[in-house]
């Protein structure tokens, strides 16, 4: 069985300890990097999402799976990535969060971890983050980039609201604003005046690298 298949089994069984122990042991033995394991988690959650959409599993299954991977990300993978990051010079400071009214955290956390692994200093504000919280944190830490995640059609408009609030405060030109999340698109980013859109965590790193060097 492949590493990803074995991890999927733990996720499907909501075996938090099993998944954590497996990931920790693979990292400790040098058999997989935390970045690789994060990628597998992304694939697994996409697979679980498809099963949910096809009504093969139901909401409690989804919540159980999401809770299981969240613990492994928070307690094993993110700390391992941070540890391996050492004292390297930061490429820039990025504020990231899921917008108001939206509790989806997994994709946003993947993006945050990938950015960190690629040399950015990341301030992950969590979920249901208001425009004021994004902007206040960006001002406080002197960030260059604000990253807005949205997984719900109903929450997408809060991405626009953050950009509008930046304009109201005369701060729009001070920050690179990027948006992402399943219901968003390049067109949407353009429509709301964001600086860019990324389809996944790897694209988000490339996009921010390109925008920052411009």
- CA–CA distance, 88 with 76 (Å, rounded to integer): 21
**Under DSSP, is residue 71 helix (H, G, I), strand (E, B) or coil?**
helix
| By CB under 6 A, residue 102 contacts ligand B1M | yes
Q: Which residues pair with 148 in a beta bridge?
A: 97, 179
Verify whether residue 61 is a known catalytic residue. Answer: no
Nearest alpha carbon to residue 127 among 108, 113, 145, 143: 108
Q: Which stretch binds ligand B1M (CB under 6 A): 27-35, 79-87, 164-172, 198-206?
A: 198-206
| Site residues (CB under 6 A) for ligand B1M, limited to 52-81 | 52-53, 62-63, 66, 70
- CA–CA distance, 172 with 161 (Å, rounded to integer): 12
Q: Which of 105, 113, 118, 144 binds ligand B1M (CB under 6 A)?
A: 105
Q: Which of 8, 20, 108, 160 binds ligand B1M (CB under 6 A)?
A: 108
Q: Which of 22, 37, 42, 77 binds ligand B1M (CB under 6 A)?
A: 42
- CA–CA distance, 113 with 94 (Å, rounded to integer): 11
- Nearest approach in angstroms of CB 154 to ligand B1M is 6
Verify whether residue 2 is a known catalytic residue. Answer: no
- Contacts with 154 (C-beta within 8 Å, 6 or more apart), sequence order: 101, 102
| By CB under 6 A, residue 49 contacts ligand B1M | yes
Active site residues: 102, 104, 155
């Amino acid at each position: 069985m492949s590493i990803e298949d074995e991890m999927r089994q733990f996720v499907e069984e909501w075996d938090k300890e099993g998944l954590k122990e497996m990931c920790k042991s693979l990292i400790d033995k040098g058999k997989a990097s935390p970045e690789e394991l994060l990628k597998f988690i992304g694939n697994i959650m996409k697979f679980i999402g498809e099963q949910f959409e096809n009504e093969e599993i139901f909401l409690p299954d989804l919540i159980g799976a999401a809770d299981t991977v969240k613990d492994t990300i928070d307690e094993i993978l993110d700390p391992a990535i941070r540890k391996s990051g050492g004292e390297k010079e930061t490429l820039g400071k990025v504020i990231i969060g899921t917008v108001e009214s939206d509790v989806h955290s997994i994709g946003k956390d993947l993006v945050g971890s990938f950015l960190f692994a690629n040399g950015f200093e990341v301030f992950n504000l969590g979920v249901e983050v208001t425009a004021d919280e994004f902007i206040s944190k960006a001002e406080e830490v002197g960030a260059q980039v604000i990253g807005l995640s949205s997984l719900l059609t109903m929450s997408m408009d809060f991405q626009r609201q953050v950009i509008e609030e930046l304009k109201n405060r005369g701060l729009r030109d001070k920050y690179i604003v990027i948006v992402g999340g399943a219901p968003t698109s390049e067109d949407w980013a353009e429509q709301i005046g964001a600086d860019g859109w990324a389809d996944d965590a790897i694209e988000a790193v490339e996009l921010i690298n390109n925008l920052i060097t411009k």
